[in-house]
Chains A and B, each alone.
Chain A
Amino acid sequence: MKRREILIMALLLVGSFITIFLPNVKPHKHIIGAKQLLYEVNKQGRYVNTDAVAKMIMESDPSLLLIDIRSPKEYAKYTIDGAINIPFDKILDKANVDYFNQDVYTTVLFSNGTSLADQAWLTLRSYDYKGNKVMKGGLNQWYKTIINPQKPADDHLTAEAKQAYLFRKGAQIYFTGATPVSSAAPTSKPKASGKPIVKRKKKEVSGGCG
């Protein structure tokens, strides 16, 4: 054998010997490119509105996983029925990855407004976690549209708006237990509202990807 042949053989042998001690191939945790992120941020496909969330809850959609990313303190005061709490600064913790990086549930992130949930979505997306959504408008919008829907002014009332209002009134009854006749809005903000909300037991995701 010539010298260069021996060199190549030795290289392959040593290389393959080292591979014995390396772990099996597993998918990487992906960091996706800035261009791709910009494209997706622009696309707005991550948003779901409060009506859609309310509808999913009312229909007991089993694929819905609501995640409240505010502080545990705020979460303890008020949250949406069935939501679990993963504070913003904990979203990348190992224990929480299974909630965000899976393909079984549609996770909907929410905060008081849109921006904190949006930031959480962006952070998760940059790790190439897919399937997470943001509830547009957050709890403030939830309060305005579901807990205390405003009757639209009669003169602008289109059929669609009327439909939406009727849905919201129905949702309001579902979520607050308000009686149909009572149109009196609660005067306090939902966070402070003393209405008894029966919390569902936390949903557990046992790692969607196994």
Chain B
Amino acid sequence: MGPLYPQLLLNPQYNLLIGALIGVGFGFLLEASGFTNTRKLAGIFYGYDATVIKVFFTAALTALIGLFFLHYMGWIDITLTFYPKTFWIPTLIGGAIMGLGFIIGGFCPGTSLSAAASGKIDGIVFIIGVLLGIFGFIFTYDTAWEALRKSGKMGRVNIADWIGMKEGLFIFLFTVIAIITFIVFQKWQDSWKRKMDQKDVDDLGI
């Protein structure tokens, strides 16, 4: 059974078509959840809007638990799917750069695309920025980045293995932590909401 395409059970053309359809769903959910509203995205860092953490962790947990079950039942082999290999140094440094970009630019690549599609000019400009950044990275890759990008190599590492914990237990603990996080951020958002102008509350849709 799954994953179909990596096991040659799915025609490449259909695979791309399904990719496009999944993209439609993804774009729809990003827009409908409010991820095209840059103020909502930045809100997570100041506590006035909890949407990002709610959507993000709920999506991750749903997929994590669902895939774990499907793997157990033999419907999909998640050892054959996309699995980001760990290079901890560049991911940590890159993550810091992305964190700064998030605060300054108010988007991430996926959200900027849906924002641009729905007419947000700042989203369009952000995309131009991302492409410029990638071009800059590529043109200076051989001299500036190659060694750093390949450093800290750990290969295919499962976080539960790394901690030395049973995978299921990790998933359960993560779920509990996520739900506590939801409650904390909800309280934080509520406390902001009480002192915010009605205009801002309407803009955020909270």
Chain B binds chain A: yes
Q: Are B77 and A19 in contact (CB under 8 A)?
A: no
**Are B175's CB and A23's CB within 8 A?**
no
A12 touches B8 (CB 8 A): no
Contact for A21 among B7, B158, B168, B182, CB less than 8 A: B168
Which chain A residues (1-32) contact chain B, with CB distance < 8 Å? 8-9, 12-13, 15-28, 30, 32
- Are the CB atoms of B79 and A26 closer together than 8 Å? yes
* Cβ A24 vs Cβ B166 within 8 A: yes
Alpha-carbon gap, A17 to B168, bound state (A):
8
Known interface pairs A27-B77, A36-B8. Does A13 touch B175 (Cβ–Cβ under 8 Å)? yes
In the complex, what's the smallest C-beta–C-beta distance from B44 to chain A, in angstroms?
Answer: 18
Task: Place the interface of chain A in its size category.
Answer: 20 to 34
Number of chain B residues close to chain A: CB under 8 A? 32
Residue of B nearest to A35 (CB): B8
Structural contact, B79 and A27, CB atoms closer than 8 A: yes
**Assembly CA distance A25 to B74 (angstroms):** 11
Residue of B with least CB distance to A1: B186
A45 within 8 A of B: no
Closest residue of chain A to B172 (Cβ to Cβ) is: A16
Instruction: Enumerate B48-70 residues with CB–CB distance to A below 8 Å.
Output: 58, 61-62, 65-66, 68-69
B80: nearest chain-A partner, CB-CB: A27
Check A196 for interface membership: any CB of B closer than 8 A. no
Counting chain B CB atoms within 10 Å of each CB, the highest count among A19, A23, A26 belongs to: A19
- Give CA–CA (A8, B62) in the complex, Å: 9
B167 at the A interface (CB under 8 A): yes
Interface-centre pick from A17, A25, A28, A33 (highest chain B CB count, 10 A): A25
**A18 CA / B168 CA spacing, docked (Å):** 8
The interface residues of chain A lying within 8 Å CB-to-CB of B169 are 20
User: Are A20 and B79 within 8 A (Cβ)?
Assistant: no
Say whether, besides A33-B7, A33-B9, A19 and B69 are in contact (CB < 8 Å): yes
A18 CA / B182 CA spacing, docked (Å): 21
Q: B26 near A: Cβ within 8 Å?
A: no
Contacting residues of chain B (17-68) with chain A, CB-CB under 8 angstroms: 58, 61-62, 65-66, 68
Q: Does B78 contact A (CB under 8 A)?
A: yes
- Provide the bound-state CA to CA distance between A13 and B119, in Å: 38
Query: Which residues does chain B contribute within 8 Å of A30, judged by CB atoms?
Result: 7, 77
Instruction: Tell me, rounded to whole Å, the shortest Cβ–Cβ distance linking A18 to chain B.
Output: 8
List of B residues within 8 angstroms of A32 by Cβ: 7
Shortest C-beta distance, A3 to chain B (Å), equals 16
Evaluate contact between B8 and A19: CB separation under 8 angstroms: no
Instruction: Tell yes or no: B72 within 8 A of A by CB.
Output: yes
Q: Which chain B positions have C-beta within 8 A of A27?
A: 77, 79-80
Taking a contact as CB atoms closer than 8 A, the residue among A12, A26, A35, A36 that contacts B175 in the complex is A12
Residue on B with the closest CB to A39?
A: B8
B139 sits at the interface (CB 8 A): no
Q: Which residue of B lies closest to A28 (CB)?
A: B77
Which residues in B have some Cβ–Cβ distance to A below 8 Å? Answer: 7-9, 58, 61-62, 65-66, 68-69, 71-72, 74, 77-80, 158, 160-161, 166-169, 171-172, 174-176, 178-179, 182
28 contacts between A and B (CB under 8 A): A8-B58, A12-B179, A13-B179, A15-B175, A16-B65, A16-B172, A18-B69, A18-B168, A19-B68, A19-B69, A19-B167, A19-B168, A20-B169, A20-B171, A20-B172, A21-B168, A22-B72, A24-B167, A25-B71, A25-B158, A28-B74, A28-B77, A28-B79, A33-B7, A33-B9, A35-B8, A36-B7, A36-B8
